Chains A and B, each alone.
Chain A
C-alpha cells in the first residue's frame, strides 16, 4: 500500500472525462435526495448544492475547469434538447394558456422590462463597472440568449453565464417565501413569475412544486428570452 500506485491511479482518474461526468451525476443524485428529504425546501436548491459539491472537489484537487468540462460537457449539451422538450408541457396545458393570454402577455412586458431595467440601475447604483452592468443586464433569461445579448452590448459572455445561473438559483430560492408572504396562491402567476425572473432553474423549481406552475414557468422562460433579446440592447443604450 505505498503512495505511488494510488497517486498514479489518481493521475489516471483525474484526467478521465468519465470521472468528472460521474462526479457531477453522483453529486446531483445526492443533492436531489437531500432536497427531497427537506420536502423541496427552497433553500435546499439542488443546482446550488451540486455546484458547491463539485466546486469543492475541483478546488481541493487543484483541477482546472477545462479538465472538468471535458467530462461535464456531455451533460451541458443536453440543455438544448431539454429546452425543445419544454414544448411538451406547454402543449399539454395549451387550453389553460389560451384562457390566460391577456394576463400572460401583460405580465411578460412588465416583468421583462423590470428584469433588465432594475438590473442595470441597481448595478450602476452600487458602483458596478461598465463590463459588469452589460454582463448582468440579460441575467433573467436562459444562458444562450443572455450570452448573445451580453456580447452585443459589451459584456463578458462567460461572466454572464455565471450571473445567469446565480440569478436562477436566487429566483428559485426566493419565489416560494415571497409568494407566500404576498398571499399569491395562483399557481399560474407563481410559475410565470419564476420562469420569467429565473429562466430554466426557476422552471425546474416550478416543475418540482406544481405541474401548472411548471407549464407557465416554461412559457415565461421562452417568451422572456425573445423579449429580452430585443429589449436589453435598447435599455442598455439608453442608460
Chain B
C-alpha cells in the first residue's frame, strides 16, 4: 500500500467537494447560481492564490476537460423523449437555433475584437 493515494483521485475528490460547497452556498444563501459555477469561482480564487493547489489539480482537470464533449451526451440523447413536440414546432426551433446562435456569436465576437484592438493594439500581432 502506497502512503499517498494516486494523484488522479485526490484532485477528483477536491473537485466534487468544491461542487458541494458551491451547492451548499447556493441553497443556503439563496443564490440563483448553480453549485458547480460557484465551485468554479472558489477553485479559481484558491488555485490562483496557492500555487501548490494549482499544480495538484492541474493534470486531472486537463484530463477531464479534454473529454468535456462526452459529458453532454447523456442529456443530449434525451432529445428522443421530445421528438413529438420538436416535430410540431420544428420551424421556430430550427429558426431560433440557427439565427439566434449566429447573432449571438456575431455580436459577442465583434464587440470583443473591436474593443480589444483599441485597448491592446501592440499585442494584436501575436494572434495566429
A associates with B: yes
Chain A interface residues toward B at CB < 8 A: 24-25, 27-28, 32, 45-47, 50-51, 54-55, 58-59, 65, 68-69, 72-73, 75-76, 78-91, 94, 99-100, 102-104, 106-108, 110-111, 114-115, 118-119, 122-123, 125-129, 132, 136, 139-140, 142-145, 148, 158-159, 161-171, 174-175, 178-179, 182, 184-190, 192-194, 196-198, 200-201, 203-204, 207, 210, 214, 220, 222, 225-226, 229-230
> Is B91 touching A186 in the complex (CB atoms < 8 A)?
no
C-beta contact mask, B75-106 vs A, less than 8 Å → 1, else 0? Answer: 11111111001100101110111111111111
Selected contact of B112 from candidates A104, A136, A161, A230, CB within 8 Å: A104
A-B pairs under 8 A by CB, number: 323
* Cβ–Cβ contact B108 & A111, under 8 A: yes
Q: Interface residue count for B (Cβ, 8 Å)? A: 80
**Bound: A100/B116 CA distance, A:** 7
**B4 beta carbon closer than 8 Å to chain A:** no
The secondary structure that dominates the A interface is: helix
A91 surroundings in chain B (CB, below 8 A) = 44, 47-48, 54
Beyond contacts A91-B48, A102-B115, A122-B96: 9 other A-B pairs, Cβ-Cβ < 8 A, are A50-B69, A83-B34, A85-B61, A110-B107, A127-B92, A148-B32, A178-B105, A189-B108, A226-B33
On chain B, the residues within 8 Å of A59 by CB distance are: 80
